[in-house]
């Protein structure tokens, strides 16, 4: 196991390199994905079958999963996991239901009323990674806020595993969340199907969900011109802010839990002393020997690092410069530090708040912006599935009061017709 490299009190000019993510040239992936998108856009179901045959060596007769398949899958789920999913569902529902916005209704001046109402997106598509690591937890994170928001239709696409079947945990979680239509298709072609629609799979208004580099690239491309997507997402990442009150073995476990996501994931510790950093690296090595995904962890840690700052304010500044997807604050006054964090996807407070809790069951959403996009994007929440429509109603008296303001501004911008739309009403007299 390669030891995490330690950087002690780096100068500001060194921060850009230390906050950089693991990036790879993706020109070839872009070309491949663009070709898949074009093929599905024009070829529909036939194109999906051709692509599936080329990539997976099988030709599916049907894409939609039957109720009988879903029923049989549910029978294989052990009671312990069913109970865990029910508990996680309750927490996620409680937190996301509290996010429903109130209607805004304000009389900004006499006779001028402005209203804002939230309305759900009509049809949304959820992409759930499958195959070697079926992320059934993501079903809860996406389907539950979509249901709470009131989306009219929710469809789900997910790839089959090596045995040619969708993971039963994904099917069970989808049923638990009330998803009625599930399609056994994955990769960039699934994104294309949801973006453009095929004979079997309906076009959606917005696509949600994580995926590999091909799925991510597909979402980027369709999101630029064809359909809305949830947020920019890349390899997963965590940053831990720690002081002397932190537990080295806890921090090591958090770094490793992130590292096992994949070899392009990144885990960064920002601590106060080199002594603490050494204790963490030792704990990382000891714990890693007992974990299953050793190869992915080893590669991920080669992209990861430990940064030591003597002063707390520099730790905070570095965290804001990095804008992590997940931020764990293992410090003596964690809420005081959290108040200074301006860029993070989700923040975990104190020694007993591991990232794993948010990934599965605490109630917050685990679909979060990565690669520094937390400076501008929020994680998925109920608002992600809503649109805000504004309304205004003016009485004649209200328009009369506002008329000088509107006409002055319209004339200054050179829009005579705008000004006339007000003046003509004022000349018309009372109705």
**Active-site position among 96, 237, 261, 326:** 326
Note if 274 is an active site residue. no
Catalytic residue among 39, 237, 260, 325: 325
Per-residue three-class SS string for the chain:
CCCCEEEECCCHHHHHHHCCCCCCCCHHHHHHHHHHHHHHHHHHHHHHHHHHHHHHCCCCCCCECCHHHHHHHHHCCCHHHHHHHHHHHHHHHHHHHCCCCCCEEEEEECCEEEEEEEEECCEEEEECCCCCCCCHHHHHHHHHHHHHHCCCEEEEEECCCCCCCCCHHHHHHHHHCCCCEEEECCHHHHHHHHHHCCCCCCCCCEEECCCCHHHHHHHHHHHHHCCEECCCCCCCEEEEEECCCCCHHHHHHHHHHHHCCCCCCEEEEEECCHHHHHHHHHHHHHHHCCCCCHHHHHHHHHCCEEEECCCHHHHHHHHHHHCCCEEEEECCCHHHHHCCCCCCCEEEECCCCCHHHHHHCCCCCCCCCCCCHHHCCCCCCHHHHEEEEEEEEECHHHHHHHHHHHHHHHHHCCCHHHHHHHHHHHHCCCC
96 is catalytic: no
The residues annotated with a catalytic role in the active site are 325-326
């Amino acid at each position: 196991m390669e030891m995490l490299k330690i950087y002690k009190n780096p100068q500001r000019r060194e921060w850009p390199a230390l906050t950089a993510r693991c990036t790879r040239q993706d020109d070839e992936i872009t070309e491949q994905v663009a070709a898949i998108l074009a093929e599905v856009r024009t070829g529909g179901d036939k194109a999906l079958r051709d692509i599936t045959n080329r990539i997976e060596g099988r030709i599916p007769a049907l894409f939609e999963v039957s109720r009988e398949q879903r029923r049989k899958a549910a029978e294989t789920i052990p009671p312990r996991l069913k109970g865990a999913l029910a508990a996680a569902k309750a927490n996620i529902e409680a937190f996301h239901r509290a996010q429903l916005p109130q209607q805004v209704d304000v009389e900004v001046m006499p006779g001028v009323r402005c209203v804002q109402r939230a309305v759900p997106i009509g049809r949304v598509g959820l992409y759930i990674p499958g195959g070697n690591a079926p992320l059934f937890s993501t079903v809860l994170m996406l389907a539950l806020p979509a249901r709470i928001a009131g989306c009219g239709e929710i469809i789900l696409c997910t790839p089959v595993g090596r045995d040619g079947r969708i993971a039963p945990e994904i099917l069970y979680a989808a049923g638990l969340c009330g998803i009625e239509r599930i399609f056994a298709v994955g990769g960039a072609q699934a994104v294309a199907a949801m973006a453009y629609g095929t004979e079997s799979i309906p076009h959606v208004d917005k696509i949600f969900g994580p995926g590999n580099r091909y799925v991510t690239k597909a979402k980027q491309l369709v999101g630029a011109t064809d359909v809305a997507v949830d947020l920019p997402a890349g390899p997963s990442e965590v940053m831990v802010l720690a002081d002397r009150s932190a537990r080295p073995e806890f921090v090591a476990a958090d770094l490793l839990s992130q590292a096992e996501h994949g070899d392009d994931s990144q885990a960064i510790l920002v601590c106060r002393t080199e002594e603490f950093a050494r204790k963490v690296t030792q704990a990382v090595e000891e714990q890693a020997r007992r974990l299953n995904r050793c190869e992915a962890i080893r590669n991920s840690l080669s992209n990861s690092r430990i940064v030591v700052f003597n002063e707390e304010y520099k730790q905070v500044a570095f965290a804001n410069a990095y804008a992590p997807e997940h931020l764990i604050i293992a410090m003596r006054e964690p809420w005081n530090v959290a108040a200074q964090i301006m860029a993070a996807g989700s923040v975990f407070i104190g020694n007993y708040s591991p990232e794993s809790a948010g990934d599965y069951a605490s109630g917050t959403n685990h679909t979060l912006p990565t690669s520094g996009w937390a400076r501008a994007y929020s994680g998925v929440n109920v608002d992600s599935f809503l649109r805000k429509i504004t309304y205004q109603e003016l009485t004649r008296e209200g328009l009369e009061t506002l008329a000088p303001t509107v006409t002055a501004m319209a004339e200054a911008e050179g829009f005579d017709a705008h000004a006339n739309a007000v003046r003509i009403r004022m000349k018309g007299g009372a109705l």
